[in-house]
Amino acid sequence: MCINSNRVISVENLEHSYGSNKVLHGINLSVDKGKVFGLLGKNGAGKTTTINIMMGFLKPDFGRCLIFDENSYSLSNRAKSKIALLHEGHLAYDFMNIDETEQFYKSFYKAWDKDIYDYLIKKLGLKRSHKIKNMSCGQRSQVTLAVLMAQNSDLLILDDFSMGLDAGYRRLFLDNLNDYVQKREKTVLVTTHIVQDIERFVDEAILIDKGNVIVSGKINTLGDGLHGYRITLDTNIQLLSSYKEIKDISTNNKSYEVITNIKPEEADKFFDKALSKKIDYEYFDLTLEDTFIALTGKY
């Protein structure tokens, strides 16, 4: 086996089923040291199953998953100690207070960084006797982040980092995490179905849908080949819906927004033919969310 000393995660042809329901269909991905990687997809796309295989909670039906060059289903204690996991939400033990939370978690991590924990907790302005269950969602996320960072692990896995946070707290969470990751050269794998906030955070990503990889690459290339056009509201837009080239049609208060693989130099000819008349339209740049919806659908 060829060992890549810079490779932290290597997933090859991963398949998995729950009974007769196949949820992963040959997933491939790799994450190198110091990178922030996004595993993107709707709820039910197979993200959490992939994470469970990475952590050794599940054994894949086919393919392999290596973490630090070890099989994920038989990770050594040394490899496990290098991983910090945030699994589908906040801290599990919300009956604890802030101080008890630190005492509990640091007992498992020899590299525990008390200074980072103290720094983030002080920002809350709460006593260490304050119980987690009595905090707001945003406050809980700050404690979660403190626990995650203080483990001082080489690999951080965030399964659904959004944790029900509003846009402001999601941005704050990622800003703090990004600063930590860059300064300490950590490796991060983040899964999410809320993509608005991660364009500035993630280096590379794959987009999966129903257990299949739809597209992969650098975060700013996932929408390559797709184009956005705003078309006036007085257009009979339903005439476009039957064309396979049309990936999504949305409506705002001033126009239709059409996402398609029709290139700008071909747009006049396509729209003239499809709508049987000349129309007014303008080109717009796609966001990551636009790309996400165009490739996976709204439903």
**Residue 27 counted as domain residue:** yes
Q: Give the tens place of pLDDT for each residue, 12-71.
A: 999 999 999 999 999 999 999 999 999 999 988 999 999 999 999 999 999 999 999 999
Check whether residue 157 and residue 197 sit in a common domain.
yes
pLDDT band at 90, cuts 50/70/90?
low
Q: What is the DSSP letter of 161?
A: T
Contact (Cβ atoms closer than 8 angstroms) between residue 36 and residue 203 = yes
Q: Is residue 3 scored above 60 in pLDDT?
A: no
Check whether residue 216 and residue 234 sit in a common domain.
no
**Residue 2 counted as domain residue:** no
Domain that holds residue 266: 227-296
Contact (Cβ atoms closer than 8 angstroms) between residue 30 and residue 10 = yes
CA distance to 71, 81, 82, 84, 199, per residue, from 109 (Å): 22, 7, 9, 10, 31
pTM of the model: 0.88
Q: Give the tens place of pLDDT for each residue, 214-249.
A: 999 999 999 999 999 999 888 888 899 899 999 999
Check whether residue 74 and residue 100 sit in a common domain.
yes
- Number of structural domains in the chain: 2
pLDDT band at 164, cuts 50/70/90?
low
**Residue 1 counted as domain residue:** no
Check whether residue 211 and residue 255 sit in a common domain.
no
Entry field: residues in the chain: 299
∠1-156-179 over CA atoms, to 5°? Answer: 125
Check whether residue 130 and residue 251 sit in a common domain.
no
